[in-house]
Amino acid sequence: MNVIVSRTQTENKRDPKERVLFFSKDKQILSTILKEHDVVDWTASLSFAGIDNSYSPLLKDISSQRGSSFRSLCHAHLLHLTDLDSLLSTEHSEDHFRISSLNDSHVELVNTTWKFGGDENGIRRIKKMIGNSPSCCIVDDHGKPVSWILLYDYCAMGMLHTLPAHRGKGYAKALVSCMARKLHAQGFPVYCFVEEENAVSYKLFKNLGFVEDPSYRAAWWECNF
């Protein structure tokens, strides 16, 4: 199999965005499929998620030929964990922090802090993440989350956030370590995307043993917005 193209449409009828993902080992075949076949509706509102940035010129070229607008959302490093040695120990986390899981009552809070959230679509996506995938959070004495990490539907760790008043206490390291151990124990790949301008998160993951291929960049694009 040289090329796989996946199209997923949002359930939000007021914002009928279609998300397009693809895997390709042959750029020429992918180019032919996208240019000559009706695999993608270039007149629709499209989101190209987590693609190899080397394919961006191809997508720009096709969208231009079809008269579609095309804009960049973000570019990110892809980091993955090869072993668990650099993570915080389970005992350290349990002794110092109250680690729990997110639930539906926390959706609004998470949505207000997510760069790509803040609306009803964000609420729906976060609710699905919490309901269908593992999550970790650190709660205060009243049971309110002050720091958290979720798992996207493509199994990448993300949305790592600590409320400003609680930063500098090692919460993020504890949560990444906890989530990484959970995923590893269940046989899932342990990886994340970190936006290029987010030097703090990049350093945090690198210090916890995550590595990257410096020649690879992931990109998110939108079409017809």
Task: Express each pLDDT in 78-95 by its tens digit.
Answer: 999 989 999 988 665 555
Domains and CATH numbers, the chain: 3-76+218-223 (3.40.630.30), 83-208 (3.40.630.30)
Question: Is the alpha carbon torsion for 88, 205, 135, 216 positive or negative?
Answer: negative
pLDDT by residue (tens digit) across 162-172? 999 999 999 99
- Give the Cβ contact number of residue 197 at 10 Å: 11
Q: At what angle do helices 199-207 and 171-185 cross, to 10 degrees?
A: 60
pTM above 0.75, yes or no: yes
* Token pair belonging to 27: 């750029």
